[in-house]
Amino acid sequence: MLDESDTIINLPNKPRRGRPKKQPSDSLDTKEALLRAGMLMLTESGFIRSGIDPILKSVGVPKGSFYHYFSSKESFGLAVLARYRRYFEAKLDGFLLDEAFSPLERLQRFAQDAQDGIVRHEFRRGCLVGNLEQESSLLSEAFREQLQATYRSWQSRVATCLSESQKQGEIDLQDSIEETSQAFWIGWEGAVHRSRLVKSTQPLRLFINFFIQAIQNTTH
């Protein structure tokens, strides 16, 4: 058996022909490309209807390589969900922690960005988590647990924003901040689905305006 020093001594002096040896970064790039393609597909079509082959074709990865990274379609789906959760948490933090705006303005700016995005993608793409929630009765317990954990994470971010808004006197909540933040996401996901159905941002505008008016302190 050769050790590392033997390998170095016996290296040929002239360059070897053919493709260079695959580096670890290549593997990371391939996995990331698969996850990104999966996010796109699940955002448009959900998990049940999405096939592996179109995802592989879109990034030029053979099926054998896919199973090097993921043991099954479900493990891939769970990894895509985790990747989307991290992506969306960063987006929420970018809006809801922006101290250049008041807390309610932050929420409204997030909603406007979502409206711009859904128009930009011609109402094909919705919320990956919302799509999976609609399929939850057909998904595994692992999926359902991760979906609930994702919503709890998102709700905590809205709750933090609402808490700051209440301290500043912008809002006057009748229910607890936790319940109000949960109500936000329940209504928001419904508005996203309705907007895709009617191909209009009107449901999203209606929801965010209704939500803001419902919690706003009219004496502020």
What total of structural domains would you count in the chain? 1
Place of tokens 């959900």: 46
On whether residue 139 sits in a domain, the answer given is: yes
Other beta carbons within 10 Å of 61? 18
Residue 7 pLDDT more than 80? no
* From 27-41, 64-78, 92-106, 110-124, the region with the lowest mean pLDDT: 27-41
Strand partners, 216: 171
- What band does 27 get if pLDDT is binned at 50, 70 and 90? low
Distances 103 to 152, 186, 212 between C-alpha atoms, Å = 20, 20, 11
List, as one string, the DSSP characters of 135-149.
TGGGS-HHHHHHHHH
Q: What is the dihedral angle through the alpha carbons of 104, 192, 88, 146, rounded to the nearest 10 degrees?
A: 120
The CATH number given to whatever domain includes residue 179 is 1.10.357.10
pLDDT at 28: 59
Q: Per the domain annotation, does 71 fall within a domain?
A: no
Tens digit of each residue's pLDDT (9 = 90 or more) over 98-133:
999 999 999 999 999 999 999 999 999 999 999 999
Domain range holding 141? 81-215
Nearest-10 Cα torsion for 106, 107, 109, 112: 180
How far is residue 102 from each of residues 8, 89, 97, 162, measured CA to CA in Å? 61, 19, 10, 10
